[in-house]
Structure 1
Amino acid sequence: MEALKQFAPFILMFVVIYLFMIRPQMKKQKQEKKFGEDLKRGDKIVTKSGIHGKIVELNTNDNTCVIETLAGKLKLERSAISMEMSQKLNTPVKEEKK
């Protein structure tokens, strides 16, 4: 019983770290992986560096995609595509009623 009291703060600290740091990060990684797998031709995307474009070609064997921008075509890794910014770009904007 005495040993349990000594380790209780460490156990509690581990539980808190798991619930507030590790678990949400794992959930976000799963969402990003699913987003990368669900990409298809014609999707409008934004890269993590801020490049806007439309997917022209997807390569599953080397995990890359070719996007078309106003400057031309670029070949990028799928991991370079920002999930949050791409979803924000594709959601319709609601107009305010006056």
Structure 2
Amino acid sequence: MLTILLQASAENTNVYANFLFIGLIILVFYFFMLRPQQKKAKDQKKFRDELKRGMNVVTIGGLHGRLLSIDDDTVWIEVDKGIKLKFDKIAIAMEPTSRVNANASTEPTT
């Protein structure tokens, strides 16, 4: 009888260990996958909301240009003298100087 009780209690601790392990996996997934993506999306939205006329920007397609005008959900970008293109606001990826600064901070110094 004592043997049966000992086996039953060992199975219960194994179940708790499994739940703990699954919980740890969910936490790791959240902190290494979901949270950084949410932060990046929040930063991009903030950047798009702070767009100003005359800023140099890069589109998600890699087109570099200067903002001429900004509407609610579209922007006009001057690519070269006299060449103006209309884009959706969500197509603006970043400011070229922020990309240069980000690359410079990740490069090792010798």
TM-score of Structure 1 vs Structure 2, range by shorter chain: 0.7 to 0.9
Q: Counterpart of 1:82 in 2: which secondary structure?
A: strand
In structure 2, C-alpha distance between the alignment counterparts of 1:73 and 1:46, rounded to whole Å: 14
1:84: Cα distance to partner? Answer: 6.1
- The separation in 2 between residues aligned to 1:90 and 1:22, in whole angstroms, is 25
Q: Is residue 2:16 matched to residue 1:4?
A: yes
Q: Which has the larger helix fraction?
A: 2
1:14 partnered with 2:17: no
Larger deviation: 82-91 or 51-60? 82-91
| Contact 1:44 1:55 (C-alpha < 8 Å) held by counterparts | yes
**Greater RCO structure (CA 8 Å; 6+ sep):** 1
Q: What CA deviation, in whole Å up to 9, does each residue of 1:72-93 have, x standing for no partner? A: 11110121112264623699x9
Task: Decide whether the 8 Å contact of 2:65 with 2:79 is kept in 1.
Answer: yes
Question: Does the 8 A contact of 2:57 with 2:95 survive in 1?
Answer: no
Flag the structure with larger Rg.
Answer: 2
Shift of 1:6: 2.4
Residue in structure 2 matching 1:79, options 80, 90, 96: 90
Over the matched positions of the two proteins, sequence identity in percent amounts to 39
Q: Distance in 1 between matches of 2:79 and 2:64?
A: 7
Note the residue ranges of structure 2 that are not aligned, 5 or more in a row. 1-11, 105-110
What runs of 5+ residues in structure 1 fail to find an aligned partner?
A: 94-98
Selected match of 1:67 from 61, 70, 77: 77
Q: Paired residue for 1:28?
A: 40
Aligned residues: 90
Mark the CA change 1:47 to 1:28 in structure 2 (over 3 Å): closer, same or farther: same
How far apart, CA to CA, are the structure 2 residues paired with 1:90 and 1:44? 14
Q: Shift in Å at residue 7 of structure 1?
A: 1.0
Deviation of 1:9 after TM superposition, in Å, equals 1.3
